[in-house]
Amino acid sequence: MERFGRLQTLAVSREDSATVISVARQEALNALNKAVLTELETVLDALTADGPKKPLIITGEGARAFVAGADIVEMADMNPDEALEFSRFSQRIFSKLETFPAVTIAAVNGYALGGGNELAMACDVRIAASNARFGQPEVGLGIIPGFGGTQRLARLVGMANALDLILTGRMIKAEEAFRIGLVHKVVDEGKALEEALNYAKAVMKNSPFAVVQVKKVIYATITGRDNGMEVEADLFSACFAHPDQKEGMKAFLEKRPADFQEEG
Ligand code: COA
């Protein structure tokens, strides 16, 4: 498969200082459906096999969204087995991104919600435009984060902030994301990609071999995460056996508030 150019759901370009992957589903605010995830895995595998010489930047096409989450239309009718498979499949791809043998940078140009925030968190560095918005709104849909978010968010911002964001599902502005340590830098609207390219250029001056060793050792010190990922996938799947998931997603698609069951 050709790794560069305009693919079905991604645009992949070769810049001087980085390879740039843009999620290209603007009609759904770049939401991650299976087609995007499959293509992302194919591109990551191909770039990894080439032996990447440059950093990798992930961004979203258009001015509104980085990625507004996993695709709710696609998830709405999933059963627990399909949800388990979806969670494991996405965890695997994001783990390939995390272990990609070069620096990875998320240029967050707009909404980074749910799976979008999880995608950004699977990168080594996050640069946000001032209009970027972050959040894990899953509980409002009757589910939990299922693409590694329960594990990576707590690592990055501490358990207190992770609980706050995941339990409320609230959306935060780029400045707050910077304050809690979720993003490394905030730049003017429209400038996230440019700044990510500058960042990539700075990293390129360093030894690529040493950079990869840093990634290996930093991520190797994360203990207990394999188990955490398994629990996440299992509980993500369990949500799809509860009526709240059907109601939460139906309500989103019908553009109305969800009417969840009271727990007895
Ligand atoms: N999956 C599927 N479609 C999505 C989507 C998602 N995660 N996020 C947005 N879209 C679609 C909308 O359904 C809408 O489609 P339509 O034009 O066919 O109605 C289109 O993208 C534009 O979104 P819209 O909601 O009309 O824009 P908005 O400016 O009013 O709101 C958001 C923007 C990001 C606040 C809102 O789209 C949102 O809350 N999205 C879902 C976020 C989420 O819960 N993600 C986690 C999923 S696990």
Minimal-distance CA residue to ligand 1 atom 29: 64
Ligand 1 and 31: CB distance under 6 A:
yes
For atom 30 of ligand 1, the residue with the nearest CA is: 255
**Is 212 a domain residue?**
no
Ligand 1, pocket-test mutation among 9, 29, 30, 90, most atoms within 8 A of CB: 29
Binning pLDDT at 50, 70 and 90, where does residue 1 land?
A: low
The Cα 176–Cα 252 span in angstroms is: 26
Contact assessment for residue 258 and residue 140, using Cβ atoms and an 8 Å cutoff: yes
Residue 96: inside a domain, yes or no?
yes
- Its domain, for residue 113, covers 2-190
230: annotated active-site residue = no
Q: What is the mean pLDDT of the chain?
A: 97
Q: Which of 89, 85, 7, 86 is nearest to 47 (CA)?
A: 7
> In degrees rounded to 5, what are phi and psi of residue 55?
-60, 165
pLDDT of residue 262: 81
Any ligand 1 atom below 6 A from CB of 71: yes
Instruction: Report, as an integer, the average pLDDT of 95-116.
Output: 98
What is the DSSP annotation of 126-176?
EEEETT-EEE-GGGGGT----SSHHHHHHHHHHHHHHHHHHHH---EEHHH
pLDDT tens per residue across span 118-163: 999 999 999 999 999 999 999 999 999 999 999 999 999 999 999 9
The arithmetic mean of pLDDT across residues 51-60, rounded, is 95
> What's the CA-to-centroid distance between 115 and ligand 1, angstroms?
12
* pLDDT at residue 224 is higher than 70: yes
Phi, psi of 126 (to 5 degrees): -125, 120
Cα atoms found within 13 Å of the Cα of residue 151, Cβ hemisphere only: 21
127 located within any domain: yes
Is the pLDDT score of 167 beyond 80? yes
Among residues 41, 82, 138, 195, the one annotated as catalytic is 138
- The whole-number average pLDDT for the span 62-71 is 97
Ligand 1 centroid–CA 162 distance in Å is 22
* Residue 261 pLDDT: 85
Is residue 14 exposed (0-12), middle (13-18) or buried (19+ Cβ within 10 Å)? exposed
The phi, psi pair for 13, rounded to 5°, reads -125, 155
Residue 248 within a domain: no
Asked if residue 159 lies in contact with residue 105, where contact means CB atoms within 8 angstroms, the answer is: no
User: Among residues of the chain, what percentage have pLDDT more than 90?
Assistant: 95
Distances (CA, A) of 173 to 113, 130, 144, 191, 227: 11, 8, 21, 16, 31
Domain assignment present for residue 263? The answer is no
- CB of 83 sitting under 6 A from ligand 1: no
Record the tokens describing residue 47, joined without a space: 């770039």
CA of 27 relative to ligand 1 center, distance in Å:
9
What is the DSSP code (8-state) at residue 120?
H
Six token digits for residue 71: 């695709």
Question: What is the model's pLDDT at position 171?
Answer: 98
Tell the residue nearest (CA) to atom 10 of ligand 1: 28
Q: What is the pLDDT of residue 264?
A: 58
Distance (Å, whole) CA 167 – CA 103: 31
Torsion region of 141: left, alpha or beta (phi above 0 gives left; psi -120 to 50 gives alpha): alpha
Q: Confirm whether 118 is a catalytic residue.
A: yes
pLDDT at 68 over 90: yes
CATH number at residue 130: 3.90.226.10
Q: What is the DSSP string of 189-256?
A: TT-HHHHHHHHHHHHHTS-HHHHHHHHHHHHHT--SHHHHHHHHHHHHHHHTTSHHHHHHHHHHHTTS
Number of domains in the chain: 1
Residue that has been written with the tokens 């595998």 in this structure: 45
